Each structure stands twice: as C-alpha cells, then as structure tokens.
Chain A
Amino acid sequence: MKSLRFLIPIALFGVLVWFLFRGLSLNPREVPSPLIGKPAPAFTLPRLDDPQKTMQREDFAGKPWVMNVWASWCAPCREEHPLVIDLARRVKVPVVGLNYKDRPGDARNWLERLGNPYAATLIDFDGKVGIDFGVYGVPETFVIDAQGVVRYKHVGPLTPQVLREKIEPLLKQLGALG
C-alpha cells in the first residue's frame, strides 16, 4: 500500500493535464446561443430593395428559412458569400439576408457586385434586431424551422465543412433540401 503512494501525485498531475488539454481544444469564440430551441425573436424591418415595405417574422412562418447576417463592411462576409449563393441555389426555402449596421447604399452595391442570393434582405440599421438574435460578430447564420423555432446558429463565415456537416443535414431533416 505504502509503496503505491507515489501514484497519488501522478494521478493528480494526470487530472490537471486532462483539464488543461480540454481547455486547449475549446474555442471561447463559440458562445452557445440560448436561442437554440426557442422561437425566433419578433421583428419588423424595412426591405433593402424597397425600404417603404417592411417584413416581419410572421411573413416567414409556415416553412423553414435560413437567415444570414451580413454587412458590406465585413470582410469575412465577402469570403463566405459564394457559399451562400451556392446554398441559396440548392435549398427549396428562402435564404434571408439581415443587413447588419450597414449603409443601405453600400449594401445594395455590394449585392450588385457579388451577386444577390437572398429571397429578401432586411435592413437592421441600428443593430437592434441583431441584439435580439444575439448577434455579436458578422457573419452569422441561423436556421429557423417551420414553427419559427431557431434550430441552429453558426457564428463566423460559413465553410464547406459547416455546410456539409451541420446545416445541410439539418435542412434535409426539415425537408428544405432535396
């Protein structure tokens, strides 16, 4: 018994190493959203193509939809944009843009130059709706189901891997992808 005592510090060291190693593999940028599994927040926002017209949450009820938060001043948005275009081409449901804290003129130019994959783009000029959605860094992408419940949120630019492993399987499950 006594001869095995040297194992105690080694075991404690092992526990410490495990904790430190776990800490290395966690990404502090990925803040779990409390919104997952909850109804999407209500909003009423003007459309980018016609600011006289507004759209609200209820306009999207009844079928799943994807919301992509972007801004013309956001470089990673430009980076992910081809993937958004590709996704919008393949899904059977609307991909909606939330133009976050942007100048509408800049936003329109941006879409003209890079392509407009969005069924509708909504202007969140002061970022209030962004706050309601818990947006803290553009780009962000939300998947909302037919009942209006937020099912998934991705922070940061979309990548082929995220689309393949998370978003597309979820959209398939929701019947939004053939």
Chain B
Amino acid sequence: MTRMGASMLRAALSALVLLWAGAALAQGPVAPAAPASAAAAVDPELEARVLKISAGLRCLVCQNQTIADSNADLAVDLRNQVREMLERGDTPQQINDYMTARYGDFVLYKPPVKSSTALLWYGPAALLVLAVLVLVWIIRRRTKLPADRFEPDPDGN
C-alpha cells in the first residue's frame, strides 16, 4: 500500500463525514409557533407565515411544486385556507394536520417519521455506514498485503 493512496482515502473519508455533518446542521431547529395576529388581509408578517407554511405543502395538481410556488387554482385556494387558519389562531401543526386529514401524508414535502417511511428517512444513512464499513474493510485488507502485490509507484517509492 502506498502512502499516497492511503492519504487520499483518508481525505475522501473525512470529506464524507463533513458532508454528513453539514446536512444534519442544515436541518436546523423548528421555529416555534408564533401567536397569530388578527390583522387585515395585507399583513406582511402574516403573508410571510402563510408562505413559510405553504412552502412545505405539495400542490396536488402540479405535484413537483409547493402550494407557495404554484398558481394552480387549488394551490391558491389552499393558500387562502392556510391564511384563514392562521388568522383564526391555528398553529402550523394544526394546519398540517388539517391538510393531511384531507390529502394524506403525500401533501407534506417533509414526510412524517413512521414505520412506513423509516427506509426513506434512515436508508441513506444506513447505506453510507455500509459503504464506509466496506471501504474500511477493503483498506485494512490491502494494508496487510505484501508490497509485491502492488504495482511499483512511478517515482520509485
């Protein structure tokens, strides 16, 4: 095993770990439910909350868009529904429950963690762990091989 190969592998491994940590951080904490304001229709703060919630809801007519992005009739109606519910003082959780009661989990862009979605949530991490284990196994096996099993490095080391 050459020194160069080993250090490259080490670099690749640490890059993977960094990527993973970054993805975990990007999730961030969930914002707490702010108290609802009973303001008039054009209230920038309310609109921002409407947008924030509808950005997590799938438009069922144009399935790759959120309700916030879409101008389909149903998306407009559902945005209005979100606004009405916020004005009434409902929490984002209540709004999500309202939507899933009618359209199922499919309406949520962030699916809930349960047994039927476990593979979706933990599958990638499990695959990554498996891949790292295989990588470590291969490296350890190769370090034990005698030098004559490898081609000599071009610079003669």
Contact = CB atoms under 8 A, between A and B. Distances in A.
Interface of A: 28-29, 31-35, 101, 126-127, 131-134, 136-137
A101 B60 contact: no
Nearest to B107: A31
15 contacts: A28-B63, A33-B104, A34-B100, A34-B101, A34-B102, A34-B103, A34-B104, A131-B78, A131-B81, A131-B102, A134-B103, A134-B104, A136-B61, A136-B74, A137-B61
Given A136-B60, A136-B61, A137-B61, A32 B106 contact: yes
Contact of A31 (B60, B73, B74, B81): B60
Interface size, B (range): 10 to 19
Contacts of A131: 77-78, 81, 102
The 9 lowest CB-CB distance pairs between A and B, nearest first, are A136-B60, A134-B102, A34-B104, A31-B106, A134-B103, A127-B77, A136-B74, A32-B104, A28-B63
Nearest to B77: A127
Interface string B74-108: 10011001000000000000000000111111100
A101 to B, nearest CB: 7
Residues of A contacting B: mostly: loop
Interface in B48-84: 60-61, 63, 73-74, 77-78, 81
Contacts of B100: 34
Contacts of A101: 73
A18 to B, nearest CB: 14
A131 B99 CA distance: 9
Contacts of A32: 104, 106
Contact of B102 (A29, A126, A132): A132
Interface string B104-122: 1110000000000000000
Contacts of B63: 28-29
A139 to B, nearest CB: 14
A165 to B, nearest CB: 23
A34 B78 CA distance: 17
A124 to B, nearest CB: 11
